[in-house]
Amino acid sequence: MVSHSGLLTVMERAVRKAAPRLRRDFNEVSHLQVSRKGPADFVSMADKRAEETIVEELQKARPGWRMLVEESGEIEGDPDKPRFIVDPLDGTSNFLHGIPHFSISIAVEDPHGPQGKPEITTALVYQPLTDESFWAEKGRGAWLQDHRLRVSARRDLSEALIATGIPFLGHGDFVQWNRIFGAIAPEIAGIRRLGSAALDLAWVAAGRFDGFWESDLQPWDVAAGILLVKEAGGFVTDYRGTDLAMERRQLLAANDTLHSKLHKLVAGALRNK
């Protein structure tokens, strides 16, 4: 049995407390009250209830810690203490349409990382329907329950299955995405768009996907997933190849060899405007 920190135990407890209600609501998805938050951006009562449960559990266990939460935004606390970055339901559109692919994502950001920059140190992506718990701690690897994760070992683009997120109404740059798609698609075995960036990155860490790209992502979409991929031996950068994926809200993830090849394709696509 692999042991993890007390902090991860707190995070696990929070997601597992929220999960049963999410599962029940998913099974009664047609009865959910749904409000419109913006163009093609829905938020369900299930989302709100899950957030309330998770925030309450985390605050109880780590009083004074700050939070960045999808629905509530910034929750203030002691600036010298770590910050939780929480997405209580990543894949809301899937959830509301009865598609069983969504997750809960929690990351912990240490404000005192290298060179004085904040750093993600702990990550958890939980799939309530499959009971899969993907977790990572900096320097301790990435895991699915007790099973150590490694990114895919494939080296040829022609064998690679790559995940992405496609722009939709009010979100993303269609022109940029089309250029990148046009460069990558002819070179690889397949592209998948499943609708939960957190889970997509967890699947890259687990070797189910060979790579992933998407832009216009929020920190709560990717903070946990980035650490999972890195701790599973993968590379995560922005489209320029730098370590600013969260800041620039664009992300390219894969093993070292595929990342290099994908980055060349992406860079070429963005150069040839």
CATH (one of 3.40.190.80, 3.40.50.300, 3.10.50.40, 3.30.470.20) for 157-271: 3.40.190.80
Q: What is the pLDDT of residue 25?
A: 85
Q: What is the pLDDT of residue 35?
A: 59
CATH (one of 3.30.540.10, 3.20.20.70, 3.30.70.360, 3.40.630.30) for 6-148: 3.30.540.10
Residue 90: DSSP 8-state: E
Q: What is the pLDDT of residue 37?
A: 53
Q: What is the pLDDT of residue 39?
A: 36
Q: What is the pLDDT of residue 43?
A: 54
Q: What is the pLDDT of residue 33?
A: 57
Residues 113 and 207: their CA atoms lie apart, in Å, by 28
Which residue from 160, 156, 139, 173 is spatially nearest to 270, judged by alpha carbons? 173
Q: What is the pLDDT of residue 124?
A: 98
Q: What is the pLDDT of residue 223?
A: 97
The residue count for the chain = 273
Note the pTM of the prediction, 2 decimals.
0.93
Domain residue limits, the chain: 6-148, 157-271
| pLDDT (tens place) for every residue of the chain, 273 residues total | 566 789 999 999 999 999 999 998 888 775 655 655 543 344 578 888 999 999 999 999 999 999 999 888 999 999 999 999 999 999 988 988 888 999 999 999 999 888 788 999 999 999 999 999 999 999 999 999 999 999 999 999 999 999 999 988 778 889 999 999 999 999 999 999 999 999 999 999 999 999 999 999 999 999 999 999 999 999 999 999 999 898 899 999 999 999 999 999 999 999 875
Q: What is the pLDDT of residue 267?
A: 95
Q: What is the pLDDT of residue 38?
A: 46
Task: Check if the beta carbon of residue 232 is closer than 8 Å to that of residue 153.
Answer: no
Q: Please give the sequence-ordered ranges of beta strands (E in DSSP) within 11-118, or none if there are none.
A: 34-38, 41-44, 66-69, 73-75, 83-90, 103-110
